[in-house]
Amino acid sequence: MTELKNETEMRELAGKRALVTGGSRGIGAAIVRRLLDAGAEVLTTARSKASTVPEGAAFVEADVRTRAGAEALAAAARETLGGVDILVDNAGGALPFPSAGAIPDEEWQDQLDLNFLASVRLDSLLTPGMRERRSGAVVHVSSAAVPTSAPPFLHYTAAKAALENYSRGLALELASFGVRVNAVSPGRTATPGGEATREQWARLSEGPGQDNTAPPLGRDGRPEDIAEAVLFLVSDRASWLTGRNLAVDGGEFPAA
């Protein structure tokens, strides 16, 4: 009985079609692998293909920071998958700056395009199909650091705060159509990109640049920790959850 149950859980997304942005490395790649393991057909994207794109996933190059890039990706998703049942807006990231005043206008715009408007644009292109089918799940990947608004990443957390506010509103708009919208907010997670960002922060601050004390649960997060949360939110096990933000941070940050 246990073996049968485990096999059922492993294939709980069988027949589902998923699009994951920024899925070539780090947290995004872990999400892609977890959805594949659960039986979903997965298309992922990044600005350039990396050798770390999980085996079994379809891939298309796209720059989701632009409307044209989002439109091309949505068209590729329809052509490759025939439609999208699960959308994970994961693409994001930022470089640290020593102060808010040091952040140039073009960097603010880039952060809004990458960490907020990319999701808005892609959602607007793909959720109408979910509405018509009266079924679907969207997950926005935010950041557990949003409540702290740490100065080196103020542009990033401001964009992610906008994403969280929009996510709640979209959830209310789509709820009556059977489409669920939730967010997941990772804390400090052990990825090559995260490590590179912390090193840049350290150089800017001429010191450690960050409190290296482990989160209360005693370790940094793993990409798989975030992927497991995303799987839960897009699965039928979360069928009564919408408009929520699940912080996966080992207790590192205060609740919003």
Residue whose token pair is 């997950």: 139
* Strand, coil or helix: 64: coil
10 Å CB burial of residue 209 (0-12, 13-18, 19+) is middle
* Strand, coil or helix: 52: coil
* Strand, coil or helix: 113: helix
CA distance 241 to 237: 9
10 Å CB burial of residue 213 (0-12, 13-18, 19+) is exposed
Angle at 207 between CA 221 and CA 91, to 5 degrees: 40
Residues tagged active-site: 156
Residue whose C-alpha is closest to residue 182's, from 126, 146, 138: 138
Residue 175: HSE in the Cβ half-sphere, 13 Å Cα cutoff: 14
CA distance 185 to 161: 11
